[in-house]
Structure 1
Amino acid sequence: MLKGLQDLQILLETARQGSLSNVARSMDMTPAAISAAIKRVEQQLGTVLFVRSTRNLRLTPQGEQYLQQCEQALTTLANAEAQLHSQHTRLQGQLHLSLPSDLGRHQFMRLLDEFLQLYPQVSLKLQVSDHLSNLYRQPLDLLIRYGVPADSSLISLPLVSDNCRVLCASPDYIARHGKPDSPLALSEHNCLCFMLADRLHNRWQFSRDGEVLRVEVSGDRSADDGEMVHRWALAGAGIAYKSHLDVRDDLAAGRLLPLCQDWQGEAAPLNMLVPDRRQLSPLIKALRQFLLQRLHH
């Protein structure tokens, strides 16, 4: 087998132009490099492909037969590459997916709009909710969720493995109530809690230098919708413990400020969940690749 496609391209151009110097100029190479490529192929094949003279060269019968097959092979490879580059125009169909409330309405709304522009023959059907969805009972193609799925039979494909929760509050809240100097001081603050499946998440976990700290918090409001907690935090109602992905734009813009930064928040990896690897269609794979690129940008 030949080591590269460039040697085949050199052979074809030499056969067309009949001159080493002309081929060298057209391919921005030296005549010696062109000659070496031809000799390399002839040695690998154990046959002479060109009859050389002082001024030009021509194909031998063996060379004509071989180059005809090579031209067909290169055409096939070029067509395959063109089809690969135009794959986005061929992807089509509908994807039914479930997204967390806060992430879906903010980060993912923007990303999915961009995805649809890249793949105009694709349509999306979205379920935006923090309530747990059942992939086996509901007509869903995939879920996007934080954390490790409770159902171990689901196939989990990482999107952002190093995402974690961050303690944050608005500048207005901090101006009125001050900053907690450690997670233990959260007992003195109004904390905005999230509920999932009627379970109140009011035990917030932090780590530092191998030390793990779990703090029970309380506040005057809680919700089973992550976006509601996010809005309360922006409005200055209290301190939130949110996924960094949910609030990173607000942190960057100064609408929310990080607190107790010497402590690491609890891990909150973002995953794409599907019921079976056989359901990883080209469309789902394209969506995952797109999200991986954009979320890590």
Structure 2
Amino acid sequence: MKNLHDLRIFCETAQQGSLSACARKMDLSPAVVSASLKRLEADLGVLLFIRSTRNLRLTQKGEQFLRHCTDALAILDEATTQMHSEDAELSGVIQLSAPSDLGRNLLLPWLDEFMALHQKLEIRLQLSDSPADLYSQPVDLALRYGKPKDSGFIAIPIAPDNVPVLCASPSYIEHFGSPKTLQELTQHNCLCHGHNDTLHTRWVFNKDNKNTSIDVTGNRQCKDGDITRKWAIAGKGIARKSHLDIVQDLIQGRLIELDVDGWQGETFPLNLICAERRLLSPAVNAFKIHLQQKVAALLTQLGRNKLTTKA
């Protein structure tokens, strides 16, 4: 089968229900349509249509082939569109929601780089630790930690292996020491963070596929993750933060990751969320790749820094 045009004529004839209607729709003569269908049937070695002077209907083989043919042409059309989209200059508006800490300290410079590459794009950014409602608010995309609560959402992994970690500043550790067990956390000033009406004072940990939790207390609580991070850097207590949020602080030595007898937080993936697949425009796809590359580079830098420190 060599002629894609024959396939398109076949699909259009099946949709229109007659040779003449297909010919009018595709601006061809009925003779050209008829010759195309005969050529396709000869190529396949099967009869696709049963014809009469007034009627035209698909055979069983024709119906089967139509399903496959329609899918194949759709895939080819999408691939062609993507190829042209990659060559075209990206434009449009990206309406994005992101967590406070991630947004201010990592996302803002990443967005500046992305928009410098694609100057016809517009960004409308909303920063909040309270999840945006993708149905009622003017937001198309959201960067969110954890698994989506709505199974109908499309979740694109940005940092799939991210976890929450315990951290404190060098000054805090110098004055108060570092907890060696989870129970010792109850003797430390823990900086609790939350959103909406929830404040996370019960911290969950995992070790050897076993979960446990500990209730913590502290004299500072906030529903803004960036403030919690800044308190930790200032030596005000121990924080439980997304690993990704504090990578730069770990690299620069402003915070130290605490190892409490091998207990770790459960996986806390960062995903790019949208409500409908049609929102995955070429601009969004390019933005997704940009984010994935920036996260990978940052984590690689942290890994190299750890090796250098050990050496």
Q: For residue 222 of structure 1, what is the aligned residue in structure 2? A: 221
User: Alignment partner of 1:106: what SS?
Assistant: helix
Q: For residue 29 of structure 2, what is the aligned residue in structure 1? A: none
Compute the RMSD of aligned alpha carbons: 2.1
User: What do residues 88-125 of structure 1 show as CA deviations (whole Å, max 9, x unaligned)?
Assistant: 76111111100100000011111111111111111111
Tell me, in whole angstroms, the C-alpha distance in 2 between the residues paired with 1:139 and 1:248: 30
1:256: Cα distance to partner?
Answer: 0.4
Which runs of 5 or more residues in structure 1 are unaligned?
Answer: 2-79
Tell me, in whole angstroms, the C-alpha distance in 1 between the residues paired with 2:101 and 2:222: 12
Is contact 1:101-1:227 (8 Å) kept?
yes
Tell me, in whole angstroms, the C-alpha distance in 1 between the residues paired with 2:85 and 2:274: 27
User: What do residues 182-235 of structure 1 show as CA deviations (whole Å, max 9, x unaligned)?
Assistant: 222100000001122211111111122233221111101111110010010011
User: Alignment partner of 1:90: what SS?
Assistant: coil
Q: For residue 183 of structure 2, what is the aligned residue in structure 1? A: 184
User: Alignment partner of 1:214: what SS?
Assistant: strand
The residue type paired with residue 279 of structure 1 is: L
Q: Does 1:281 align with 2:299?
A: no
Is contact 1:166-1:265 (8 Å) kept?
yes
Is contact 2:186-2:216 (8 Å) kept?
yes
Q: For residue 98 of structure 1, what is the aligned residue in structure 2? A: 97
What is the TM-score normalised by the length of structure 2? 0.67
Tell me, in whole angstroms, the C-alpha distance in 2 between the residues paired with 1:210 and 1:94: 43
Tell me, in whole angstroms, the C-alpha distance in 2 between the residues paired with 1:195 and 1:270: 17
The residue type paired with residue 284 of structure 1 is: V
User: Alignment partner of 1:213: what SS?
Assistant: strand
Is contact 1:89-1:120 (8 Å) kept?
no
Q: For residue 168 of structure 1, what is the aligned residue in structure 2? A: 167
User: Alignment partner of 2:157: what SS?
Assistant: strand
Tell me, in whole angstroms, the C-alpha distance in 1 between the residues paired with 2:284 and 2:175: 47
1:136: Cα distance to partner?
Answer: 0.6
1:266: Cα distance to partner?
Answer: 2.5
Alignment of 1:187-202 (within 5 A): 187-202=186-201
What is the TM-score normalised by the length of structure 1? 0.70
User: What do residues 25-47 of structure 1 show as CA deviations (whole Å, max 9, x unaligned)?
Assistant: xxxxxxxxxxxxxxxxxxxxxxx
User: Alignment partner of 2:240: what SS?
Assistant: strand
The residue type paired with residue 279 of structure 2 is: Q
Tell me, in whole angstroms, the C-alpha distance in 1 between the residues paired with 2:88 and 2:110: 18
Q: For residue 142 of structure 1, what is the aligned residue in structure 2? A: 141
User: Alignment partner of 2:283: what SS?
Assistant: helix
1:295: Cα distance to partner?
Answer: 1.0
Q: For residue 292 of structure 1, what is the aligned residue in structure 2? A: 292
1:153: Cα distance to partner?
Answer: 2.1
Is contact 1:169-1:257 (8 Å) kept?
yes
Q: For residue 251 of structure 2, what is the aligned residue in structure 1? A: 252
1:84: Cα distance to partner?
Answer: 5.3
Aligned residues: percent identity? 46
Tell me, in whole angstroms, the C-alpha distance in 2 between the residues paired with 1:85 and 1:183: 55
Q: For residue 50 of structure 2, what is the aligned residue in structure 1? A: none
Tell me, in whole angstroms, the C-alpha distance in 2 between the residues paired with 1:111 and 1:204: 30
Is contact 1:144-1:271 (8 Å) kept?
yes
Is contact 1:205-1:214 (8 Å) kept?
yes
1:85: Cα distance to partner?
Answer: 9.3
1:159: Cα distance to partner?
Answer: 0.9
User: What do residues 217-270 of structure 1 show as CA deviations (whole Å, max 9, x unaligned)?
Assistant: 110111111001001001110000000010011111111011125222222100
User: Alignment partner of 1:233: what SS?
Assistant: helix
Tell me, in whole angstroms, the C-alpha distance in 2 between the residues paired with 1:162 and 1:168: 18
Count of aligned positions: 219
